[in-house]
Homo-oligomer: A and B are copies of this chain.
Amino acid sequence: VTDKKVSKAVIKRLPRYYRYLQTIKNEGIVRISSMELSTRMNVTASQIRQDLNCFGGFGQQGYGYNVEQLYAAIGEILGLDKQYKTVIIGAGNLGRALANYAGFERRGFNLVGAFDVSDDIIGTMLNGVEVMHIDRADEMFPVLKPDIAILTIPQRYAAATAAKLARLGIKGIWNFTHAELNAPEGVYVEDAHLSDGLMTLSHHITSGK
C-alpha cells in the first residue's frame, strides 16, 4: 500500500467504493473487474483503475479485483481497522442521535464521554456514558484520551470550543455546527454542514433539477 500523490478528490471517493464493495461482498461476489464495478457505480472504469492505483496494484491483469481483499485494503486506507475514542460535545437531540447511531460503534468509533451545559441533560446517560458539564473537560480529557470530538452545539460557542478541544489534544472534530472552524494546527476538521445539503436540495427542487 504505497501512496503516490493522492488527490483530495480520490480520498473523497474512497468511502463510496467502500460502501459498494461491502454490498458486493455481501452478495457473495468474489471477484470484480473495473468494468463491472463501473457499471454498478456509474463511474468510468478508467477512473476506478486510476483511483485504486494511487495506493498500489490491488488488481491482477486478466482477472480483475478480489472483492474481499480490495474491501479490506480500502478499509485500511480509511483507517477503519483502528479504534477511535470519541466524545460528544453537546448532547442535545442531534448529539444524542449521533451517539446512538448504529454504524458508529461497529466501525470502531467508541463513545467514551459526553458533555453539555444544560442542567436538564447533565447526569443523564447516553449510550453508556454519563453526560458531564463541559467545564469538566479539562479534568476528564487526560483520563478519557479521546481522539475525535463530535461537535453539536450552537454556532456561537463553536469557535471557542474548538480551540479548547485543540488545546486538550483532540485529533479530529466532526463539525455539525453552522460555524466554519479554521482548523487549529494538528486537528483535522470534517464539516457536516447539514443545512448546506438542505439548501442544495431546495435549489434543485425550485429550479427544476
Contacts and interface: CB of A to CB of B under 8 A. Distances in A.
A147 to B, nearest CB: 6
Contacts of A194: 98, 101, 192
B202 A197 contact: no
B171 A188 contact: no
A199 interface: yes
Interface string A5-30: 00000011011101110000000000
A207 interface: yes
B203 A174 contact: no
A195 interface: yes
Given A93-B97, A199-B15, A190 B204 contact: yes
Interface centre among A103, A107, A195, A198 (most CB of B within 10 A): A198
B94 A196 contact: no
Interface centre among A77, A94, A147 (most CB of B within 10 A): A94
Number of copies: 2
Interface of A: 11-12, 14-16, 18-20, 42, 77-80, 82, 84, 92-94, 96-98, 100-101, 103-104, 107-109, 147-148, 171-172, 174, 178, 180, 182, 186, 188, 190-207, 209
18 contacts: A18-B199, A19-B180, A19-B196, A78-B199, A78-B202, A78-B203, A79-B199, A79-B207, A82-B206, A93-B96, A101-B194, A103-B195, A171-B205, A174-B197, A188-B204, A190-B200, A190-B201, A192-B194
